[in-house]
């Protein structure tokens, strides 16, 4: 397989993209952050996370933003 073909397949397959480029569902965001639903909503209220809303019920979170939040918590020791 040529590298150009691999590069093209990565661009068109969201599972193969870097985690920072992805949008994740709230369950995955909760799992990655190690928090529950209430705390995830609190992070949104405190503007620590910005939800991407496609409709009232269809909400996603940027994986890059989650990773940044995890990194800042590890440096500061929590929220």
SS3 46: coil
Let me know if residue 1 belongs to a domain: no
Q: Which domain holds residue 42?
A: 20-76
Let me know if residue 41 belongs to a domain: yes
Let me know if residue 8 belongs to a domain: no
| pTM given for the model | 0.70
Let me know if residue 31 belongs to a domain: yes
- The DSSP 8-state label assigned to residue 59 in this structure reads E
**Number of domains observed in the structure of the chain:** 1
State the pLDDT at residue 78.
66
State the pLDDT at residue 79.
62
Nearest to 42 by CA among 20, 24, 21, 69: 69
- Go through the chain and tell me how many residues it has: 79
CA separation for the pair 23, 63 (Å, rounded): 6
68 versus 78: the higher-pLDDT residue is: 68
pLDDT tens, residue by residue, 6-49:
444 444 555 545 555 799 999 999 999 999 999 999 999 999 99
């Amino acid at each position: 397989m040529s590298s150009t073909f691999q590069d093209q397949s990565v661009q068109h397959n969201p599972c193969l993209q870097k985690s920072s480029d992805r949008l994740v569902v709230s369950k995955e965001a909760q799992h990655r952050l190690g928090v529950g639903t209430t705390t995830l909503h609190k992070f949104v209220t405190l503007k620590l996370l910005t939800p991407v809303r496609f409709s009232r019920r269809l909400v996603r979170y940027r994986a890059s933003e989650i990773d940044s939040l995890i990194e800042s918590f590890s440096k500061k020791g929590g929220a």
